Structure 1
């Protein structure tokens, strides 16, 4: 594959001659491992692109047609966490300036999102500066009613623009009017954004004050990140070292312990997190999703033909596409009855589950539509190129810096991490894709390869089912968890700093717990 011409800043990357200990070296994004060299995968740029392209092709799964029966790629993490993870990413990071066509000036990169769990993707700049997001300075505007989900009768779309059709544009796009337009990039994250608007409106009505409602929503959200999301995605042995309170229940007596995330003057967004480790969620995406009991079949996020029904966003989708969130998280134990209208035709009586975190991405993510991404249009290659352009170190170098014994090349398998015989044959060691990867695995791929097999329990009408899953290991788990916890500790307005003994609203808890399931249930009960 021919690579585009590389445009380099005159004299190399600005700041490359700074001392590795310089306060300026981290740049606005920053690094957790400043002293590590960048990983290289070829003698020149063209050779590197060839090597990364071959690896990306190996990480792309074959087409997965719908079928009945067990799905070995499912893990135990409900699918709602995939898109909650995307929602978190939009809250923390936004970098419109970096390029896949050239090496990036790392000291010039700016995170246009505050690196805090403050929901600026929901609240925007607030009712004083963006009054059009709000109906009365207190409540959010909501859009048209959505139907199709009997268990989500109050579903509403996001508020949208209503442009006047013209001869040149007879069907203009109705864009969402929200704090971060990216939260409309697919139907699922769009409706998750809508749940946060509804949750705020519920607190606003109850408390009668915008700031108090905003604080309540933020702190409940932060609680979910710390006490539910991280335990779902990070292996218990790794997380126990960082968050000992998860075992003791005493956040004050057992505060977080960070080894590698050290904010000096202010919080920073590590490139190891944003350009590599946190992209683990791409491997959790399913090829298709069933939205509610009314629709007769599941839909893909991206269809090969844009005229086919799909879950792509940035436009007004059909009104009958309201999400029944029971299909995405275990809100309650139910029997879906009619086998023609199952939330997951591959396994009755269960919510749709995210795919295992492994070195395989579903086939639709290898064929992104041109208006979504091109050059390259393969998501895995985009991630690999971005990590290389950002001058990230190899996974093995990061492991050694952490004091962890790196994976051997033979342990870095590319392909689906399943136990199905014909899938096992698709697993290949990374060195099969080129000598450039010998002892030199791209950090993103390494994070996916080192995941740990664990089990999770899912409730069904026929009793609890224990399901094999995979969670982030020592390198990826520590980068993700330490970054998220570090950002909470560096935020003077977080509950972790202002009131570490704070607990969620008792009326919203279930069996003494509050997680993503309870947050969604609270929004649905607005």
Structure 2
């Protein structure tokens, strides 16, 4: 008998979470890894040059319309982060050595089961629950906002299914909303068991993912190719296949689904208070100034007015660069466009968030290289698509009228042409979105009549994201697509993220 039978297969000797079912893997196993230099040092240097071009100049948070805004309300950025924390968690891969995705464990179930909310359930984590309901934390106030609740905490640490959902003030308060959504579902269905309520909550969440979030970020032409007679069709999944359980493809987790990093604004206004227009990270020159960083009890006055993040009501659009306009302070804030530009605070993450490297763009690019991702052009050809030309891969802000502070660099002009015909997959997917823009109507009075040009994921990035989302749902026997693919909420097929938020806030009709 061969001695190889005694060798533990790659990945099986990794520490496993009791929540884990799946592993990381590849969608395009036959493609060669993309390289960007003759050795490790050259690869990192060239990726650093690209990363530097992918971060904009410093732009302080401000009230009012902004040329970088898309037509997507800003809560979708953080709903996307919430989804990410539901389906993927890789705490062990390294940026200092080459990695084999087949040896990485996904410390999250690769399914939309909300284990980031429910954890291991009330029997195994009773400190999170009060009967069939979730425990809530201390009251949090905010100017012009009804009091809300912080997450339940012990010595400042959030007692929740995934601690990452406390990493900033926005996702933390959204996590608290999801606890309240569940609790109201219990109140509206007091004869149901915990498991039945949990299933209804999951169905509503999955419905929003499929019918609201996905169409916001993926171009309609891509989604239409995955449907038969208007419904998603498992037989249309051409690139994402699994044997027993769905796995987490690195093309998704390390490239395509990192689209949200480009949607982040430099800061957000939480409510009416003058001091609640906050940067995403503390100013290194003024570290005592308020910021949105989390992993701590919610500070006084920080309750979010959710109408600033999602269209719960109709507000004035505001006027750009007019500090005297009162509408600017109360307006709905929109996510930045999906493009090859990240805001300046992401150039140097705080040391408690990440370091070596501190640049988020470089971390993404280097992780993709370390994990052996193919180039964007190689993936496009593998999908029987014509790749973007180098002239179409523009690094910079996808604003309608670029100005002097909005440099536009063709990919082949960076690092002495090393990226010509050889663009890192993450950058390629973001650049592709510029070619697939949709004019989105803005739910605000005084908004541009023709809508706002909004880049969306195209046939490479959008197809990867959509197939993985659909595959995980089709591969989960308890999901809405497996249990009842024609299910809709009792309020009708238009149920969206804004309705989920409104229900959690106690508004609207009961859900069953």
Alpha carbons 1:145, 1:156 under 8 Å: kept = yes
Deviations 1:100-153 (A, max 9, x none): 0111133220001000000000000000000000012x10000011111545x2
CA distance in 1, matches of 2:178, 2:463: 28
1:139 aligns with 2:133: yes
Which moves more between the two structures, 85-94 or 327-336?
327-336
When residues 108 and 328 of structure 1 are mapped into structure 2, their CA distance, relative to the original with a 3 A threshold, is same
Tell me the residue number matched to 1:486. Answer: 471
Matched, 1:226 2:205: no
State how far apart, in whole Å, the 2-side matches of 1:140 and 1:420 are: 48
Cα contact 1:94–1:113 (8 A) shared by 2: yes
* Residues 1:471 and 2:456 aligned together: yes
Pair 150,502 (structure 1): closer, same or farther in 2 beyond 3 Å? same
Q: SS of 2:310's equivalent?
A: coil
Q: Distance in 1 between matches of 2:406 and 2:153?
A: 48
Residue 237 (structure 1) aligned with residue 217 (structure 2): no
Q: Distance in 2 between matches of 1:79 and 1:53?
A: 29
Unaligned runs of 5+ in 1: 1-13, 17-26, 163-173
Q: Structure 2 vs 1, CA of residues 319 and 141 (structure 1 numbering), >3 Å: closer, same or farther?
A: same
With over 3 angstroms needed to count, the CA separation of the structure-2 counterparts of 1:74 and 1:369, relative to structure 1, is same
Task: Quickly say closer, same or farther: Cα 1:301–1:67, change in 2 above 3 A.
Answer: closer
| Displacement after TM superposition at 1:342 (Å) | 7.7
* Match of residue 5 from structure 2: none
- Please give the secondary structure, in 1, of the residue aligned with 2:355: coil
**1:151-190 equivalence runs, <5 A:** 151=145, 153-162=146-155, 174-190=156-172
1:516 is aligned to 497
Of stretches 315-324 and 374-383 in structure 1, the one that deviates more from structure 2 is: 315-324
User: How far is the alpha carbon of 1:287 from its aligned partner?
Assistant: 0.5
| Structure 1 pair 400–15 and aligned structure 2 pair: CA distance change class (3 A) | farther
Distance in 2 (CA, whole Å) between partners of 1:456 and 1:243 is 22
Q: Compared with structure 1, are the counterparts of its residues 371 and 266 closer, same or farther at alpha carbon in structure 2 (3 Å cutoff)? A: same
The structural deviation recorded for 1:62 is 0.1
1:106-117 superposed matches below 5 A:
106-117=101-112
Q: 1:327·1:343 contact (CA, 8 Å) conserved in 2?
A: no
Q: Which of 274, 285, 308 in structure 1 is aligned with 2:253?
A: 274
> Do residues 283 (structure 1) and 262 (structure 2) align?
yes
CA offsets, 1:168-205, max 9 Å, x none?
Answer: xxxxxx11111100000000000110010000011112
Supply the distance in 2 between the matched residues of 1:303 and 1:45 (Cα, whole angstroms): 33
Residues 450/135 of structure 1: CA separation in 2 closer, same or farther (3 Å cut): same
| Matching residue within 359, 365, 385 for 2:340 | 359
Corresponding position of 1:128: 123
Structure 2 segments unaligned to the other structure (5+ residues): 1-8, 12-21, 508-512
Contact 1:349 1:460 in 2 (8 A): no
1:395 to 372, 376, 394: 376
- Tell me if 1:310 matches 2:291: yes
Gap change, CA 1:353 and 1:463, over 3 Å in 2: closer
Work out the number of aligned pairs and report it: 479
The structure that is strand-richer by fraction is 2
- 1:289 & 1:344 partners in 2: Cα distance? 15
Question: Matches of 1:349 and 1:304 in 2, distance apart?
Answer: 24
Deviation at 1:337, TM superposition (A): 9.9
Correspondence 1:96 to 2:91: yes
2:488 to 484, 503, 509: 503
Rate the CA distance shift 1:223–1:391 in 2: closer, same or farther, 3 A: same
Task: Measure how far apart 1:266 and its partner are.
Answer: 1.3
Mapped partners of 1:343, 1:105: distance in 2: 53
Question: Quick check: 1:280–1:357 contact (8 Å CA) kept in 2?
Answer: yes
> Is the partner of 1:205 in helix, strand or coil?
helix
Q: 2:176 and 2:196 mapped to 1: Cα distance?
A: 20
Pick which of 335-344 and 118-127 moved more. 335-344
Judge conservation of contact 2:234–2:470 (CA < 8 Å) in 1.
no
The yes-or-no answer on 1:30 pairing with 2:25 is yes
Change (3 A) 1:311 1:349: closer
Shift of 1:455: 1.1
Q: Within 5 Å, give how 1:319-468 maps onto structure 2.
A: 319-335=300-316, 345=328, 350-423=331-404, 426-434=407-415, 435-451=417-433, 452-462=436-446, 465=449, 466-468=451-453
Contact 1:396-1:407 within 8 A present in 2 as well: yes
The structure-2 alpha-carbon separation of the partners of 1:328 and 1:256, relative to structure 1 and needing over 3 Å to count, comes to farther
1:226 CA drift (Å): 0.5
TM-superposed CA distance for 1:464, in Å, is 7.3
User: Within 5 A, what are the aligned runs for 1:243-262?
Assistant: 243-244=227-228, 248=230, 257-262=236-241
1:294 to partner: Cα distance: 2.7
Shift of 1:257: 2.1
What is the distance in 1 between the residues matched to 2:23 and 2:43?
Answer: 27
* CA–CA distance in structure 2, aligned partners of residues 372 and 228 of structure 1: 30
Q: 1:454, CA displacement in angstroms?
A: 1.1
Distance 2:180 2:385 in 1: 44
Deviation at 1:400, TM superposition (A): 0.1
Alignment correspondent of 1:44? 39
Q: Report the CA distance shift for 1:502/1:69 in structure 2 as closer, same or farther (over 3 A).
A: closer
State how far apart, in whole Å, the 2-side matches of 1:230 and 1:240 are: 12
Distance 1:478 1:423 in 2: 34
Contact kept? 1:292, 1:343, Cα under 8 Å = no
